[in-house]
Chain A
């Protein structure tokens, strides 16, 4: 018998909508846990932001990763980044990053900022991908646009997504919105996400829960672990 997750104690309804998510139809999505965003010496750190805010979700995510790996759940990691020749970098994205002193492709504290293959672009060791886990490289904030994520999920028969990662209001939210429009039943975990601005973290979680769960539900990793059956 297939293990299931749910109903998970969640806001605004017990997740998922259809009672329980079979583990073999559910994926854990780990969004952009990259050194440049949350690692000591990454560019967010170098810019003077408090990386404890973006690192806050790491311990809970590491624990949840172990839990879902033991269940055999599909795990997908995403990384935001661009090709070394910047051919997949929209001009306005480059311009805006330069304007705030962190030009994509320019020299950063951990190699060229947000360039594939550079140390700062790698996923931090606490939640590093295990062999065989899917890694999706994305040029934008959303993990569906210009990637094979939808194909990977549909090929695995995935219908339910559990989201962790950073930052809550930017890449995690954009990915959740894309997934929701595609019909995936989504759960975002408040203790496995984080943002450079705590108010934006809170507002982004609140937005999910409005209108009966306009983008899905919010829960904690302990709620997910507690709702695992079989």
Chain B
């Protein structure tokens, strides 16, 4: 069984029951000139994940891992956007440089070209930060007998953390890939990763992508 050096200890996984989860690598969050940048964020903090994630995705596909992508977004009529979220994010649904912001079907809502899903890879659309709530992710994982998740994407302390917390409560083993998750805020990248592995791995494990790629290629 492939084993990866990780914090707080070695992480072993069976490729046939492991999925690589790629969270919210959407143009709205990652493209220069996009919605994320318009909020005053430095998208370079997120874009540094693209290169290692591209390599990890290739290795995961070659090893036959199930690949699952997620996108945060809402229906065009905003009927799945809670009022409390809309009030705090009044730009949701407004015209942005890449179409209506965080609206399904718009250019900005879709995944960046570098990480485009391949045919047959599920894309889970989620209305919240977590990828389990109000989605069919649990069903997809159960149907394929998935037990372990290799987690990547953005942002570390928001959508990645919420999804890992949901997955952990559901009994999935989560390995979060340090160089393939990103936050606009370096402080949150640091503490977000530290919280995952604290107390004996209270939410899961943390490792680097080269270690995972090496384990997949063994």
Partner of B89, one of A100, A169, A177, A212: A212
- Give the interface segment out of A65-73, A119-127, A137-145: A137-145
Partner of A180, one of B129, B165, B200, B201: B129
Report the minimum CB–CB distance from B177 to chain A (whole Å).
18
Interface presence of A155 (CB below 8 A): no
- Give the interface segment out of A22-30, A56-64, A199-207, A222-230: A199-207
A180 vs B166: C-alpha distance when bound (angstroms): 13
Cβ contact within 8 Å between B157 and A207? yes
Residues in B whose Cβ lies below 8 Å from that of A182 = 82, 128, 133
Cβ contact within 8 Å between B191 and A203? yes
Interface presence of A18 (CB below 8 A): yes
Residues in B whose Cβ lies below 8 Å from that of A145 = 166, 169-170
Cβ contact within 8 Å between A142 and B169? yes
| Residues A153-208 near B (CB distance < 8 A) | 169-170, 173-174, 177-178, 180-185, 196-197, 199-200, 203-204, 206-207
Interface presence of A2 (CB below 8 A): no
Interface size on A, residues (CB 8 A): 45
Q: A150: nearest residue on chain B (CB-CB)?
A: B133
| Residues B153-192 near A (CB distance < 8 A) | 157-158, 161-162, 165-166, 168-171, 173, 185, 187-188, 191
Which of A16, A17, A96 has the largest count of B CB atoms less than 10 A from its CB? A96
A207 vs B192: C-alpha distance when bound (angstroms): 10
Over the window 183-214 of chain B, the binary record of Cβ atoms lying under 8 Å from chain A Cβ atoms (1 yes, 0 no) is 00101100100110011111100000000000
A145 vs B82: C-alpha distance when bound (angstroms): 19
Cβ contact within 8 Å between B166 and A169? no
Residues in B whose Cβ lies below 8 Å from that of A177 = 129-130, 161-162, 165
Residues in B whose Cβ lies below 8 Å from that of A17 = 83-84, 87-88
With A169-B195, A177-B130, A207-B188 in contact, is A140–B168 under 8 Å at CB? yes
Q: A182: nearest residue on chain B (CB-CB)?
A: B133
Over the window 63-87 of chain B, the binary record of Cβ atoms lying under 8 Å from chain A Cβ atoms (1 yes, 0 no) is 0000000000000000000111101
Q: B126: nearest residue on chain A (CB-CB)?
A: A181
Residues in A whose Cβ lies below 8 Å from that of B195 = 169-170, 200, 203-204
Residues in B whose Cβ lies below 8 Å from that of A170 = 195, 199, 202
Cβ contact within 8 Å between B162 and A181? yes
Report the minimum CB–CB distance from B6 to chain A (whole Å).
13
Cβ contact within 8 Å between B169 and A140? yes
Cβ contact within 8 Å between B133 and A181? yes
Show 16 residue pairs from A and B whose CB-CB distance is below 8 angstroms, ordered by the A residue. Answer: A17-B83, A100-B200, A145-B170, A177-B161, A178-B130, A180-B84, A180-B85, A180-B129, A184-B84, A200-B191, A200-B198, A203-B187, A207-B157, A207-B188, A212-B88, A216-B84
Interface, chain A (partner B; CB < 8 A): 13, 16-18, 90-93, 96-97, 99-100, 139-142, 145-146, 169-170, 173-174, 177-178, 180-185, 196-197, 199-200, 203-204, 206-207, 210-216
Besides A141-B169, A174-B165, A211-B158, 18 new A-B residue pairs in contact (Cβ under 8 A), listed by A number: A16-B84, A17-B84, A18-B84, A93-B171, A100-B200, A140-B168, A140-B169, A141-B168, A142-B166, A142-B169, A145-B166, A174-B169, A182-B82, A183-B82, A183-B85, A203-B187, A203-B191, A213-B88
